[in-house]
Structures are given as C-alpha cells and as structure tokens.
Structure 1
Amino acid sequence: MDVLLDNWSLYGEGLWGTVQLTLLASLLALVLGVIMAAFRVAPVASLRAFGTVWVTVLRNTPLTLLFFAVLLGLPRFGLVLPFQTFAILALGCYTSAFICEAVRAGINTVPVGQGEAARSLGMTFGQSLGDVVLPQAFRSVIPPIGSTLIALAKNSAIAGSFSVVELLGTYKTLNELGYSIVWSFVWIAVGYLIVTLTISLVFNVLERRWGIVR
C-alpha cells in the first residue's frame, strides 16, 4: 500500500495518460473503422480495394512495429507532433482494422432486402447505409466492439516505451526509487482493471439497452 500512497500523483498521472490514450484512440478507431467498413461494402471497386488493403495491412502488422513506423518514421518526412499524438494515431489506426471487420460482420447480418428497399425509395448508397443498414447492424456489433476497445486499452501500454506518459511506464520511476517491483505492478494492474472494467460496464449497458435479445 505504501508504494501507492507515497506515489499517488505518479500513479494518477499515469492512469490519466492511459485514459486519454484509450478515449482518443477509441474515437479515432471507431470513426475510421466505420468508414472502412462502408468502403468494404461499397459498390465502387476502388473503395472496396482500399478498405481491403487497409484491413489486411494493419491486422497483420505487429503493433510495436506500427509504433516504430509512426513515432519514428513520420518525423523523418517532416511531420513533427507530440509523441502522444503519434501514439493515438498508431493505436487508433491499428484498432480501426478490427472495428471495421466487426462492423462489416454486423452489416452482413442485415437482410439484403433492407438495403434494396431503401434504394428503391430513391436513397443513395450512403443514405441507405447510414439511415437503414448501420443502425440495425449496430445492435449486433456492440459486444465485439467492446472487446476490441478493451484490447486497445491494454495495448496502450506499448506507448510507455516511446516516452508517452501512461500507466505501465510508471514502473520505471518506481523501480529507480527502490520500491518493490511486485507491488508496483500490482497497483498498475489495478489501474488497468479500472479502465477495462469501465469500458466493459459501458458496453454492457449499451447491449442491454440496444443489443439483440437472444
């Protein structure tokens, strides 16, 4: 308990850093994931190809390698941003590939006749997707999206290795101060549990309210 009480501000700063990374990267992942899912079911071949390449490359690239590519590669091309912003980009883009596939699976559960009926009423592809298909697909993809965002929260620990303030990175300072590494990691684990259980609670509420009752 001493390691927590003596370093409350350090743990708090690390926890807040993890929460920020999780929230901002989740928003980016959700936006990009839905866009890429729309691309993958679009009637335009070039959009389908772009969505397929996006998902294939990101899902099969190790996240650590993606961090190296974004945090160390982009500055070489003149794009200089805070490391936290680069970490959000890496986490958000990586996770968007998994969000995309979850949303696309949900779209495939919607009867084809729904989209055809919408288009027969004069709706464009974008209107039928946004107003008819996606609202129905959303109900079936709440659990997998929740699981994906929980994984994102845990993946944010990689950012600590790139000078980004987050929860796991606090162990370096605590180790230098001579605190027990075991208890340091115990309280770090508690912090991650707080974040992941909060996400789980939010999506459980969403599922009870809007999910498909089986």
Structure 2
Amino acid sequence: MSAQTDAIPQSRPAPLSENGGKGNDADRLRIVPVRRTGQWAAAAVVLLLLALALNSVIRNDAFQWDVVGDYFTTASVLRGLGLTLWLTALVMALGFALGTVLAVLRLSTNRVLQAVSWGYVWLFRSTPILVQLLFWFNIGALYPEVLGVRTVNLLGPVTVAVIGLTLHEAAYAAEVVRGGILSVERGQIEAAQSLGLGAWRRLRRIVLPQAMRSIVPPAGNMLIGTLKGTSIVSIIAVQDLLYSAQLVYHRTYQVIPLLLVATLWYVVVTSLLGVGQHYIERHYARGTAGAR
C-alpha cells in the first residue's frame, strides 16, 4: 500500500503571480512595443525636406523679403485689404439671407416654389462666377433700358461685384441651410407644431438654432472661400487686395514680392477666420458629443 502511494506523483501548487493570483504563461510574457522604424524614418525625411524648403524660401534673394516688408502695410495695400474684408462680409450676409429664403422655398409643400428654388440653385451653380460677373458688368449691352431707366454705366464695378458674388453665394448657401434644416429631428418640429407655434416661429426658435450645428462648419468654409474668391473681382477693376498689389507691381515691376504681400495677408485673415470658426462650432456643439 505504501509502495502504491509512493508511486503517485505529488502535485505542486502553481506559483503565485505578482498580483496574488495563480501564475500562467501569459504572466511570464514580456510586452514589447511595436517598433515603427519605417514611420519614424519617413517622418525624419519629411521634416528634413520641410527644413530644406523653408531654408530655400528664407534665403532665396529672389523673394525680396525686404521689399515685402516695405509694402506689407502701405496705404494702398491696406485699402485693398479693407475693401476685400468689406466685400466678403457683405456678400456672406446677403448671400446667406437669400440662401435661407431659397432653402425654405425648396422645403415648402408648394411645387411652384420648390421648382423656382431648385432652378435658381441649378442655374447659378452651373455657371462660373467669372462668367456671371462679366454678364452683370455688361448688363447694359443685354438690357439697355429697364423700367424706363438706362442701364448703361448704371452699375459700377463694386456694385457689380456685390451683385454677382451675392447671387452666386446664395445658391451654395441655400444648399448648406437646407442640409442643416433637414438634420433637425422630425420630432422637434412636430413638438413645436403641437404647441401651436406658427411656421415662422418654428423656423426661428426651434429649427434654425438646432440646425446651426450642421450649418456652421460648411458656412465657415464658404466664408474662407468667399474671402479668397473676391480676388476674381480684380478682372473688372475692383481695387481689392490683389488688384492693389497688381497696381503696385505694374509700376515697380516687383511682381514676386507684391504677390507675396497679398498672399501673406490672405493667410493671416483666413487663419483668424479659422480660429473664429472653431469657437463658433464649439458654442453650437454645447451639450453634444462634438463639444470640445
């Protein structure tokens, strides 16, 4: 009996792991982080190329950075910048006002109003903005007289720029606003209807405040695009930022530094607009997962 007992192997208790539990093979495995050698090498190459490019831009005498500094804050350039900012603000305000009306018409139950809104958006999104500006600039050749008023020389370059850019912007703003309105849950609108709110009050108090979360991001992109797009009005001799720079380099033949002046001002303004867009988006995203 004792011999049989001695033949039975004695079981040994499993070693305890550091946390007090029974140890196993996983406890003895050492976690080794993945070596991303290729990514680090690519990042180093990219940084090297960026450093070389930046060095070439700074040290290249052809850029004439001293001339850029001399003209960066001259009166003519600042006047052009002021007109660009004024034109951008006015076009965005008028464009979104008209675009909101078009969006509401597109979402109405009246087939005629839907068709008119759709046709407007289709027409102005289908034609280049330059063509539209040239049509308005030559409106006197198309309609010499409207309601007894001669149209020849009636519209100046700035007025033409405002009209052309606003009508073009409204077509895109209408789609942005329509998308924002459609993003609002149907239950919100039905709840407002059950409270007896009229269509206008529902739109102003219930729909638009919630739709702004979806409207602000594309509207911010449109604002930046409009700011840069105003440079096209130089083709009809509107003295915006780009045209002001062109007037100077036509006189001094310093093309590159004056183009850099306009470029740097566009970069500065668009950067500030981007910061403002971030805070506006955060404001309307309060109470949602997108608030950061």
Using the size of structure 2 for normalisation, the TM-score is 0.68
> Residue 197 of structure 1 is aligned with which of 268, 271, 287?
271
The whole-number CA distance in structure 2 between the counterparts of 1:179 and 1:100 is 43
Deviation at 1:3, TM superposition (A): 4.7
Deviation at 1:19, TM superposition (A): 0.9
Count of aligned pairs between the two proteins? 214
- 1:177-199 alpha-carbon deviations (Å, 9 max, x no partner): 22421111111101112222222
Contact 2:220 2:277 in 1 (8 A): yes
Bigger shift: residues 202-211 or 77-86: 77-86
Q: Counterpart in 1 of 2:121?
A: 55
Matches within 5 A, 1:1-214: 1-6=66-71, 8-73=74-139, 76-77=144-145, 78-79=150-151, 80-211=154-285, 213-214=289-290
- 1:108-153 alpha-carbon deviations (Å, 9 max, x no partner): 1111122222223222322222221111101221110000111111
* SS of match in other structure, 1:136: helix
The whole-number CA distance in structure 1 between the counterparts of 2:267 and 2:250 is 25
The whole-number CA distance in structure 2 between the counterparts of 1:95 and 1:156 is 11
Q: Which has the higher contact order (CA 8 A, sep 6+)?
A: 1
Name the % identity.
29
Q: Of Structure 1 and Structure 2, which has the larger fraction of its residues in helix?
A: 1
The whole-number CA distance in structure 2 between the counterparts of 1:92 and 1:195 is 20
CA RMSD of aligned residues (A): 1.8
The whole-number CA distance in structure 2 between the counterparts of 1:117 and 1:193 is 45
Q: Name which one, 1 or 2, has greater alpha-carbon Rg.
A: 2
Bigger shift: residues 118-127 or 160-169: 118-127
Gaps of 5+ in 2: 1-65
* SS of match in other structure, 1:177: helix
Contact 2:67 2:257 in 1 (8 A): no
The whole-number CA distance in structure 2 between the counterparts of 1:213 and 1:164 is 44
* Structure 1 pair 131–44 and aligned structure 2 pair: CA distance change class (3 A): farther
Gaps of 5+ in 1: none
